[in-house]
Amino acid sequence: MEFWFSVHDIALLAAEVESKGAEFYGRLTSVTEDKRVTDLCSFFAEQERQHESAFRSMAEGHDSTESRPYSVDIRKMLETSLGKLSDFLSDPSPRAGLVDVFEVLSLAEDLETTSIKVYTNMLQAYTETFSHIIGRLLEEEREHLRSIHKLQHEIRATNGAMDAD
Domains of the chain, each with CATH number or no CATH: 3-90+99-164 (1.20.1260.10)
Q: Please tell me the pTM assigned to this model.
A: 0.84
pLDDT, average across residues 12-21: 94
3-state SS record for 19-60:
HHHHHHHHHHCCCCCCHHHHHHHHHHHHHHHHHHHHHHHHHH
Give pLDDT, residue 30.
79
Give pLDDT, residue 33.
79
Model confidence over 53-72: pLDDT tens digits? 999 998 888 777 878 888 88
Give pLDDT, residue 165.
39
Give pLDDT, residue 164.
44
Percentage above 90 pLDDT, the chain: 35
CA-wise closest residue to 135 among 149, 122, 146, 148:
122
Give pLDDT, residue 99.
61
Average pLDDT, the chain: 85
Give pLDDT, residue 94.
61
Model confidence over 67-126: pLDDT tens digits? 888 888 888 999 998 898 888 888 877 666 566 778 878 888 998 999 999 888 888 777
* One-character DSSP codes across the chain: --EEEEHHHHHHHHHHHHHHHHHHHHHHTTT---HHHHHHHHHHHHHHHHHHHHHHHHHHTS-TT-EEEESS-HHHHHHHHHHHHHHHHH--STTTT--SHHHHHHHHHHHHHHHHHHHHHHHHHS-HHHHHHHHHHHHHHHHHHHHHHHHHHHHHHHHHHHHH-
Model confidence over 132-148: pLDDT tens digits? 888 899 999 999 999 99
